[in-house]
């Protein structure tokens, strides 16, 4: 099952990240997880929010470059080695990880947000391996 990630392009200038967060706050959009990839000139803010479509609309209206990307939000056990096992499953089937970041839901399970090189194939493999993924709907309920 896919989840939607909201990606925002941010120039490296003072206060710009704050402005993104301000738009989300004003529109009561809750951030569940985020990652910020930075280069010398710009950053890419990747967000998992409770309502990505609305988040995108509001940010675009305020002049930000945004996009929605399909990603996998995968539940893994909160114990040593579980992430390694997950990645092993994918790498054995020649699936690469484009990027990945953590997402914490509660005390017992951990989750990772993962963008695989081939999302459909990865999803299928995970289903067959019995790995749990979260849908957009699951995430919207995480408020």
Partner 1 sequence: MIWNETKECMSRDEMTALQSARLVKTVDYVYHNVEFYRKKMQQLGLLPGDIKGVEDITKLPFTTKDDLRDNYPFGLFATPKSQIVRIHASSGTTGKATVVGYTRRDLDIWSECVARCLTMAGVTKEDIIQVGYGYGLFTGGLGAHGGAEKIGAMVVPMSTGNSKKLTTMMVDFGVTAIACTPSYLLHISELLEAENLIKDLKLRAAICGAEPWTDKMRSEIEGRLHINAHDIYGLSEVMGPGVACDCIYHKGLHVCEDHFYPEILDTSTLKPVKAGETGELVFTTITKEGLPLIRYRTKDLTSINYDTCECGRTSARISKFKGRVDDMLIIRGVNVFPSQVEAALVDIKEVTPHYMIIVDRVNNLDTLEIQVEIDEKYFSDEIKGLEALTQKISHTINQALGLNAKIRIVEPQTLTRSEGKAVHVIDKRKLY
**Interacting residues with partner 1 (CB under 8 A):** 5, 7, 9-11, 37, 39, 41-42, 44, 46, 60, 63-67, 69, 98-99, 115
Nearest to 59 by CA among 9, 118, 109: 9
In degrees rounded to 5, what are phi and psi of residue 2?
A: -90, 155
Q: Under a CB-based contact definition with an 8 Å cutoff, are residues 76 and 109 in contact?
A: yes
Find the shortest distance in angstroms from Cβ 7 to partner 1. 4
How far CA 48 is from CA of 36, 57, 75, 79, 103, in Å, comes to 12, 15, 14, 23, 9
Find the shortest distance in angstroms from Cβ 112 to partner 1. 16
CA-only gyration radius of the chain, Å: 16
Residue placing its CB nearer to partner 1 in the complex, 101 or 143: 101
Residue placing its CB nearer to partner 1 in the complex, 117 or 135: 117
Find the shortest distance in angstroms from Cβ 80 to partner 1. 29
Residue placing its CB nearer to partner 1 in the complex, 39 or 84: 39
């Amino acid at each position: 099952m896919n989840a939607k990630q909201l990606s925002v392009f941010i120039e490296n200038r003072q206060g710009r990240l704050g402005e993104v967060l301000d738009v989300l706050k004003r529109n009561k959009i809750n951030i569940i997880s985020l990652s910020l990839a930075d280069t010398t000139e710009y950053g890419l803010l990747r967000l998992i929010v409770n309502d990505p479509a609305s988040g995108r609309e509001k940010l675009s209206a305020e002049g930000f470059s945004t996009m929605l990307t399909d990603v996998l939000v995968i539940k893994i056990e909160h114990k040593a080695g579980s992430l390694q096992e997950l990645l092993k499953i994918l790498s054995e089937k020649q699936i690469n990880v484009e990027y990945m970041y953590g997402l914490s839901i509660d005390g017992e399970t951990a989750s990772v947000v993962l963008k695989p090189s081939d999302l459909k194939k990865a999803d299928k493999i995970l289903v067959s391996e019995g790995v749990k993924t979260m849908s957009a709907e699951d995430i919207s309920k995480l408020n």
